[in-house]
């Protein structure tokens, strides 16, 4: 059935609905339907054909005569141009009070900068350059795991090691994401992209739904049994709970389970892309996929379906959005509460947004990129304030779930729409690092729980202007000759010097010097001041008095960024009763003190 576009109105409590009026402003004749009921049981109560004639625009009356909390308007296509609706009836229960416009409840504990920061990457990055990043978001294709092109589901065998292989020297598999976790003692999750190999061979790609058979209803969780079964096998293989390896559907031996390296699974990436036409993944489709992937749609799909049925400690992360679209989060939350019997918000692994700071204009990500000619600084983008609004609204929807900025970064190439703003006296690589540090600080003070920098390694050699392909912190696409840019060293310096510090206070976000204050997560007397000039025109303040708290020790450590150094230029200074006078530039400095 072609389901078309739908608007569901939640009246918050049951009403006796007598009449509904729709205002028809269509220029084409098309179908409109009205329903009452619930998200799982709709009853058709009225239908109409739009007039498609400007001389007949006006209100259309429907007699409903039903009791319902929800009412749905369904449109065959965008041609059914209904611009207003009015409903008449009597309330049965007490109408809830409107929610507060701002969030005032409990917030999640602030993370240290080390625990807060992460990197996007895929197979091919060398291990030593992963060291500064506690969180890793690893792009990987579903077709690397679901490689069976001959078997009929459920008799499918997967390749759980993906692009890994068996190492006869260690008598174990070499798997990139396992190695990252063991090398860096960090957390990693898979951003599972696209469709199984059998669908790829038929011409389907990243923006298609991974249904078990072509033609299945993409809004029905049962259409994703094969995908949910794959997720069960991945969670059984890499989660914290060992299962009988005879249950693992593996095309390779020896089989394994409970490697305890992955407990978060992201089922897609930017499914809300609005520029892919009819391949756009609507919220009902993404919910159906996610409910199947999480627990086999509350175990309706059978055995070995969904991550939590393999490993109860595993969590599903919401596929990253193309923009800061809190409305899509609100819709997915509503669908979860009204379509599952447990009313559970199934993306406990995190709500993930993507955003890039550009000079483009528009409401949607596609509009912004189409008008952009280059990147904007975090300050020009009002990045902290922009994200603080998103974080507060997300708290209102799901206060206990982490809020993640899953992509943000800059290209070094000057022709890119997200090119890093150049700082006078610094080259593209250095300027990228300066802007990244200023942005990391802005996101940390916005209240977001994690920031995953885009990207680990350049995807191009040379000066091509393609978007996102020169955003790497490490140069060269040749995996045997990777070299860090200054941006990698600058971030390593931040993590090595301030990694155990959490945001405490915004001291100043005005004038020529912006100042932020961090404190050590285990020793509140240890403070770190992060300060810089918020421009990229060569501004310098020669003698800036940084007013600290009352010092317990006059010793002050000043740390400046230094090329090819992962600790920076460290200078010991002496403070006085008023603080310390220092030179401030557009490249951030860290001032470390001990306060009473």
Distance (Å) of CA 454 to CA 55, 126, 384, 430, 432: 53, 16, 18, 16, 12
CA quadruple 113, 116, 120, 123: dihedral positive or negative?
Answer: positive
Q: What is the pLDDT of residue 93?
A: 84
Name which of 546, 534, 591, 547 is nearest 385 in CA terms: 534
Question: What stretches in the chain show pLDDT beneath 50?
Answer: 1
Q: Can you tell me which residue has the tokens 């993944």?
A: 281
Q: What is the pLDDT of residue 465?
A: 66
Q: What is the pLDDT of residue 308?
A: 98
Name which of 18, 137, 157 is nearest 456 in CA terms: 137
Biggest CA–CA distance in the chain, Å, is 81
CA quadruple 362, 366, 369, 371: dihedral positive or negative?
Answer: negative
Q: What is the pLDDT of residue 456?
A: 95
- Domains in the chain (CATH in brackets) are 5-91 (2.60.120.260), 113-212+219-498 (3.20.20.80), 501-594 (2.60.40.1180)
pLDDT digits (tens, 9 = 90+) for 298-309: 999 999 999 999
Those residues whose C-beta lies under 8 Å from the C-beta of residue 552, and which sit 6 or more positions away, are: 525, 594, 595, 596
Q: Which two tokens stand for residue 77?
A: 């296509």
Across the beta sheet with 514-520, the strand order is 501-508, 514-520, 526-532, 589-594, 555-560, 569-574
Q: Can you tell me which residue has the tokens 């912004």?
A: 368
Instruction: Identify whether the C-beta of residue 529 lies closer than 8 Å to the C-beta of residue 515.
Output: yes
Q: What is the pLDDT of residue 366?
A: 76
pLDDT digits (tens, 9 = 90+) for 458-511: 877 655 567 898 999 998 766 667 899 999 999 999 999 999 999 999 999 999
Q: What is the pLDDT of residue 354?
A: 97
pLDDT digits (tens, 9 = 90+) for 420-458: 999 999 999 999 999 999 999 999 999 999 999 999 998
Count of CA atoms in the C-beta half-sphere (13 A) of 566: 11
């Amino acid at each position: 059935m072609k389901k078309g576009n739908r608007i569901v109105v939640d009246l918050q409590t049951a009403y006796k609905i007598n009449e509904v009026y729709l205002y028809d402003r269509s220029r084409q004749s098309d179908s409109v339907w009205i329903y009452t009921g619930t998200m799982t049981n709709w009853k058709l109560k009225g239908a109409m054909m739009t007039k498609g004639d400007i001389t007949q625009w006006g209100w259309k009356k429907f007699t409903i005569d039903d009791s319902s909390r929800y009412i749905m308007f369904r449109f065959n296509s965008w041609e059914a141009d209904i611009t207003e609706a009015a409903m008449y009836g009597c309330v049965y229960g007490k109408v809830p009070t409107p929610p507060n416009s701002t969030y005032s409840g409990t917030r999640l504990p602030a993370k240290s900068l080390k625990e807060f920061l992460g990197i996007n990457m895929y197979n091919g990055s060398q291990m030593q350059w992963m060291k500064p990043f506690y969180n890793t978001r690893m792009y990987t294709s579903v077709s690397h795991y679901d490689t069976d092109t001959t078997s009929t589901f459920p008799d499918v065998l997967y390749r759980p090691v993906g692009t890994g292989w068996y190492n006869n020297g260690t008598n174990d598999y070499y798997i990139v994401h396992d190695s990252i976790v063991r090398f860096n003692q960090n957390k990693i999750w898979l951003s599972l992209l696209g469709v199984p190999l059998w669908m790829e061979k038929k011409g389907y790609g990243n923006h298609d739904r991974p249904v078990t058979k072509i033609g299945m209803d993409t809004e029905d969780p049962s259409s994703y049994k094969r995908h949910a079964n794959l997720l069960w096998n991945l969670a059984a293989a890499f989660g914290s709970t060992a299962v009988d390896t005879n249950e693992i559907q593996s095309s390779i031996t020896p089989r394994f389970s409970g490697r305890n390296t992955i407990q978060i699974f992201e089922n897609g990436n930017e499914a809300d892309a609005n520029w892919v036409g009819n391949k756009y993944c609507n919220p009902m489709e993404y919910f159906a996929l996610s409910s199947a992937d999480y627990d086999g749609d509350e175990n309706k799909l059978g055995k070995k379906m969904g991550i939590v049925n393999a490993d109860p400690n595993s969590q599903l992360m919401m596929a990253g959005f193309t923009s800061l679209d809190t409305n899509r989060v609100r819709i997915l939350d509503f669908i979860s509460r009204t379509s599952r019997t447990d009313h559970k918000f199934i993306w406990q692994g995190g709500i993930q947004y993507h955003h890039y700071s550009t000079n483009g204009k528009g409401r949607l990500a596609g509009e912004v990129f189409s008008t952009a000619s280059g990147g904007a600084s975090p300050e020009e983008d009002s990045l902290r304030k922009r994200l603080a609004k998103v974080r507060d609204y997300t708290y209102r929807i799901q206060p206990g779930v982490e809020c993640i900025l899953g992509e943000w970064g800059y290209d070094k190439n000057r022709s890119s729409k997200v090119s890093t703003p150049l700082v006078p006296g610094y080259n593209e690589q250095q300027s990228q690092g300066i802007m990244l540090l200023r942005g990391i600080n802005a996101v940390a003070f916005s209240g977001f729980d994690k920031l995953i920098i885009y990207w680990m390694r350049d995807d191009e050699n040379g000066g091509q202007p393609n978007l996102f392909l020169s955003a790497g912190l490490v140069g060269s696409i040749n995996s045997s000759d990777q070299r860090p840019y200054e941006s990698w060293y600058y971030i390593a310096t931040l993590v090595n010097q301030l990694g155990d510090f959490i945001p405490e206070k915004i001291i100043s976000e005005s004038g020529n010097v912006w100042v932020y204050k961090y404190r050590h997560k285990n020793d509140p007397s240890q403070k770190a001041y992060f300060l810089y000039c918020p421009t990229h025109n060569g501004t310098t303040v020669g003698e800036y008095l940084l007013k600290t708290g009352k010092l317990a020790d006059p010793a002050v450590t000043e740390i400046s960024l230094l090329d090819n150094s992962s600790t920076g230029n460290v200078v010991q200074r002496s403070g006085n009763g008023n603080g310390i006078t220092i030179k401030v530039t557009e490249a951030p400095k860290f001032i470390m003190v001990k306060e009473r």
